[in-house]
C-alpha cells in the first residue's frame, strides 16, 4: 500500500475503527488509568516489579484510549493507538515527548511481559510514576 502513512495503514487494516464518540467511555477510561496507577504503586511497594511495570503501562494505555473514545475511534492495536495520538502532535495540541514516552512505555511493558529478561528495577518504575500521573492529567485535559 504505497504512499500510506502508518495511521492510514492502521485504519485500512481495521486496527483503528470509527465508532460513536463517547465522553462517558472516555471518562471511564481515565478512571481506569488512575486505578492502574494506584495498583502499580501498590505492586512496587511489595516489590512485584513486573506487575508494577504492567500497571504503569496500562495507566498510559487507558489514559490515551480516553482520547480515542472521545473522538469516536476504537483501537485494536496499541501501536495504532500511539499512531493516532501522534495526530495531536502534528496539529500542535500535544507535546511530542508524550508520544515518545508512550512508545517507550509500550516497549517496556512488552519486554516485561513477554521476554525472559529479569524484572524491571524498582528505581526504573519509580522514575516513571510521576510522568504517568502527568500523562493521565494531560489526556484528561484533552477530553475536557
Comparing C-alpha atoms, which of 63, 29, 43, 85 is closest to residue 132? 63
pLDDT above 70 covers a percentage of the chain that reads 98
**pLDDT tens, position by position, 59-78:** 999 999 999 999 999 999 99
Cell numbers placing 46: 511489595
**Is the pLDDT assigned to residue 51 strictly greater than 90?**
yes
Mean pLDDT of 37-57: 96
> 116 or 36, which is more confident?
36
Structural fold of domain 15-143: 1.20.120
Mean pLDDT of the chain: 94
Q: What angle do CA 4, 109, 34 make, to 5 degrees?
A: 100
pLDDT of residue 34: 98
Cα–Cα distance, 129 to 78 (Å, whole number): 20
* DSSP structure class, residue 144: -
**Claim: this prediction has a pTM higher than 0.95:** no
pLDDT of residue 2: 60
Structural domain boundaries in the chain: 15-143
pLDDT of residue 108: 87
pLDDT of residue 116: 85
Amino acid at each position: 500500500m504505497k504512499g500510506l502513512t502508518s495511521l492510514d495503514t492502521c485504519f485500512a487494516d481495521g486496527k483503528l475503527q470509527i465508532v460513536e464518540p463517547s465522553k462517558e467511555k472516555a471518562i471511564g477510561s481515565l478512571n481506569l488509568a488512575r486505578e492502574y496507577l494506584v495498583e502499580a504503586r501498590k505492586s512496587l511497594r511489595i516489590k512485584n516489579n513486573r506487575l508494577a511495570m504492567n500497571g504503569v503501562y496500562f495507566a498510559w494505555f487507558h489514559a490515551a484510549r480516553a482520547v480515542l473514545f472521545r473522538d469516536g475511534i476504537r483501537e485494536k492495536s496499541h501501536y495504532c493507538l500511539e499512531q493516532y495520538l501522534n495526530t495531536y502532535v502534528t496539529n500542535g495540541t500535544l507535546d511530542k515527548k508524550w508520544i515518545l514516552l508512550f512508545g517507550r512505555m509500550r516497549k517496556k511493558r512488552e519486554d516485561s511481559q513477554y521476554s525472559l529478561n529479569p524484572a524491571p528495577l524498582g528505581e526504573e518504575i519509580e522514575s516513571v510514576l510521576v510522568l504517568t500521573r502527568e500523562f493521565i492529567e494531560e489526556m484528561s485535559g484533552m477530553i475536557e
